[in-house]
Amino acid sequence: MPDLSPDPHALELAEAAAAAFRDAHLEEPEGLWAAPGRVNLIGEHTDYNDGFVMPFALPFYAAVAASKADEWSFHSTYGNGETLRTADLDGVEGWAAYLAGTAWALNESGHPVGPAKIALHSDVPVGGGLSSSAAIECAVLIALADLYGHEIDRAEAARIAQKAENEYVGAPTGVLDQSASLLCETGHVMFMDCRDLSREQVPFDLAAEGLAMLVIDTQAPHRHADGEYAARRADCEEAARQLGVASLRDAPRHAKLDDDQLNKRMHHVVTENDRVLKTAAILRSGRIAGIGELLTASHTSLRDDYEVSSVELDSAVDAALGAGALGARMTGGGFGGSAIALVEAASAGKVEDAVIAAAAQAGLPVPRVFVARAAQGAHRVK
Ligand code: GAF
């Protein structure tokens, strides 16, 4: 049985959301909910190719305090204290678009929700590539579903939150981040097939093996991220079209295309899916240390074939490996954001120092480094 008791840190954040709710509305909220950010252990840019991913939830949460109401009202500790009130859900922009968009997507998906007062508080770093927007969507989704009495299967909920991101916010992402936020379990990585969202929770007890996973937030702003992300998706679709397959998941192992760029994109997706399957097999056999080389190979492929890394991410990965990390890679969409490094617990400090020194020497922003644990997916806190 998964551990379903509220994460104590999620509870703290939810109490801050409740305080913001009380300030804005001078009453208690009906309930508190929280949904986490994520790290993707391996399986990058595979989700929109019907491939395999392997995320775990981080103990950073978006928390919401909410009640049913007569009109929509959105409040956030992100905003400058203002409360946005609106009779309908059309055309909401900025941070509130994630809230309005999620309500819109629920309505569009046959789970009607009426208006609600929602106050949001989150500590998922914005722009860190750790799924701050999916965390908001998923927290709001489970809150509205609860308030309006809908029991929604979590895989369907992930598709609904993705719809909010794709069609309301306008970011053409896959389903990785929303699935991770809604479906991950404490102490596990989730191996998921994005074609049908079938999944397996694989135990991931780093401490028991004397290991640690560092997350290195490079603090580098995303550059041209949206346009580049959409361009990679378009390349994959074109490669699949030329091969005559539904998606690159089905590309024959030794397929070759005339266009060099499409070939490189395809090569990344095919080899990355293979690396996820190998990683899952190693983890099932209980040898986490054995996945290091696969993580590093994933980074090389994302850097050279998929071309979504950045000077900051490469610096972090190279410095971590130079200081003895067992494996390291960028995680998430790329073009800035975060990298991860699998290390012997005893050498975590040395690797962290090396990563920071390398950034300083190259004149890059000072990265923020922390030790990850596999936390709990979205849940009602109170
Ligand atoms: C971003 C997207 F939101 C995900 O859907 C996924 O494609 C990821 O980049 C790359 O694996 O986080």
Q: Are residues 275 and 302 in the same domain?
A: yes
Q: Are residues 95 and 139 in the same domain?
A: yes
Give the span between the Cα atoms of 145 and 152, in whole angstroms. Answer: 7
**pLDDT at residue 80 above 90?**
no
In a domain, 349, yes or no: yes
In a domain, 87, yes or no: yes
In a domain, 256, yes or no: yes
User: For residue 20, what are the domain limits?
Assistant: 8-202+375-380
CA 99 – ligand 1 centroid, Å? 20
Question: Torsion over CA of 220, 39, 122 and 74, rounded to 10 degrees?
Answer: 100
CA atoms within 13 A on the CB side of 104: 20
Place of tokens 């106050």: 119
Give the span between the Cα atoms of 321 and 303, in whole angstroms. Answer: 15
- Show the CA angle centred on residue 142, arms to residues 138 and 148, nearest 5°: 140
In a domain, 122, yes or no: yes
CA 263 – ligand 1 centroid, Å? 20
* E strand or H helix at 296: helix 292-304
Cα-Cα-Cα-Cα dihedral sign, residues 333, 336, 338, 342? positive
Q: Are residues 147 and 198 in the same domain?
A: yes
Residues carrying an active site annotation: 177
Classified as helix, coil or strand, 342 is strand
Q: Evaluate: CB of 174 within 6 angstroms of ligand 1.
A: yes
Which protein residue has the closest C-alpha to ligand 1 atom 9?
333
Q: Evaluate: CB of 333 within 6 angstroms of ligand 1.
A: yes
pTM, to two decimals: 0.97
Classified as helix, coil or strand, 101 is helix
> What is the best residue among 138, 173, 330 to mutate for testing ligand 1's pocket, by most ligand atoms within 8 Å of CB?
173
Q: Are residues 97 and 227 in the same domain?
A: no
Considering the chain, what is the average pLDDT of its residues? 96
In a domain, 298, yes or no: yes
In a domain, 286, yes or no: yes
CA 124 – ligand 1 centroid, Å? 16
In a domain, 3, yes or no: no
Q: Are residues 169 and 211 in the same domain?
A: no
Give the span between the Cα atoms of 205 and 104, in whole angstroms. Answer: 38
Q: Is the reported ipTM for this assembly greater than 0.95?
A: yes
Backbone angles phi, psi at 39, to 5 degrees: -115, 140
In a domain, 1, yes or no: no
Q: Are residues 228 and 115 in the same domain?
A: no
CATH classification at residue 89: 3.30.230.10
CATH classification at residue 249: 3.30.70.890
**Ligand 1 atom nearest to 47, measured from its CA:** 7
Classified as helix, coil or strand, 193 is strand
CA 44 – ligand 1 centroid, Å? 7
Q: Evaluate: CB of 185 within 6 angstroms of ligand 1.
A: no
Question: pLDDT tens digits for 174-214?
Answer: 999 999 999 999 999 999 999 999 999 999 999 999 999 99
Q: Are residues 227 and 188 in the same domain?
A: no
Q: Are residues 68 and 162 in the same domain?
A: yes
For the chain, how many structural domains are there in total?
A: 2
Q: Are residues 192 and 228 in the same domain?
A: no
Average pLDDT for residues 375-380, to the nearest whole number? 97
Closest CA to 336 of 300, 317, 308: 308
What pLDDT is stored for residue 266 in this prediction?
98
User: Residue 193 has which token pair?
Assistant: 């097939």
Q: Specify the pairing of strand 188-193 against strand 116-122.
A: unpaired
Q: Are residues 215 and 172 in the same domain?
A: no
Question: pLDDT tens digits for 218-228?
Answer: 999 765 567 99
Q: Are residues 197 and 209 in the same domain?
A: no
Q: Are residues 178 and 308 in the same domain?
A: no
Q: Evaluate: CB of 176 within 6 angstroms of ligand 1.
A: yes
